[in-house]
Amino acid sequence: MKRLLFLLLACLPSLTALAQAEQSIWYFGNQAGLSFSTGQPVPLLDGKMNTYEGSAVATNAQGQLLFYTNGVSVWNRQHKLMPNGRHLMGDASSTQSAVIVPDPGSGNVFYIFTTDLQGRSNGLRYSVVDMTRDNGFGDVPRANMLLITPVAEKLAAVRHANGRDVWVVAHRWNSNAFVSYLVTAEGVAGMPVMSNVGSMHAGPGRNAIGCIKFSPDGSKLAAALWRESNKFELFDFDRTTGVISNPQQFGPYEEAYGVEFSPDGSKLYGTSNGAGGGDATITQFDLRTGKAERVGKSANRKVGTLQLGPDGKIYVAREDNPYLGVIQNPNAPGAACNYVDDGFNLGAKRSKLGLPNFIR
Domain membership flag for residue 4: no
| Closest residue by Cα to residue 122 from 156, 141, 148 | 148
Q: Tell me if residue 35 falls in helix, strand or coil.
A: strand
Element (H, E) at 8: helix 2-20
Domain membership flag for residue 28: yes
Q: What is the structure's pLDDT at 210?
A: 97
Indicate whether 298 pLDDT > 80. yes
- Tell me if the pTM is above 0.85: yes
Could you write out the DSSP letters of every residue in 119-177? G-TT-EEEEEEETTSTTTT-EEEEEEEEEESSEEEEEEEEE-TTSSSEEEEEEETTEEE
Domain membership flag for residue 356: no
Domain membership flag for residue 11: no
Residues in CB range of 313: below 8 A, 6 or more apart: 326, 327, 328, 329, 330
Q: What is the pLDDT of residues 175-211, one digit of tens each?
A: 999 999 999 999 999 999 999 999 999 999 999 999 9
**DSSP collapsed to 3 states, 207-265:** HHCCCEEECCCCCEEEEEECCCCCEEEEEEECCCCCCEEEEEEECCCCCEEEEEECCCC
Distance, in Å, from the CA atom of 226 to the CA atom of 206, rounded to the nearest integer, reads: 8
pLDDT band at 17, cuts 50/70/90?
very low
Q: What is the pLDDT of residues 337-350, one digit of tens each?
A: 999 999 999 999 99
Distance, in Å, from the CA atom of 7 to the CA atom of 270, rounded to the nearest integer, reads: 39
CATH (domain of 284)? 2.130.10.10
Domain membership flag for residue 333: yes
DSSP bridge partners of 250: 232
Domain membership flag for residue 7: no
Range of the domain at 220: 17-345
Angle at 64 between CA 53 and CA 323, to 5 degrees: 40
Domain membership flag for residue 41: yes
Domain membership flag for residue 63: yes
Indicate whether 12 pLDDT > 50. no
Q: How many domains does the chain divide into?
A: 1
| Closest residue by Cα to residue 68 from 307, 165, 78, 360 | 78
Distance of CA 252 to the CA centre of its chain: 23
Q: What is the structure's pLDDT at 20?
A: 67
Q: How many CA atoms lie within 13 A of 87 on its CB side?
A: 6
Q: What is the pLDDT of residues 127-141, one digit of tens each?
A: 999 999 999 999 999
Q: What percent of the chain has pLDDT over 70?
A: 94
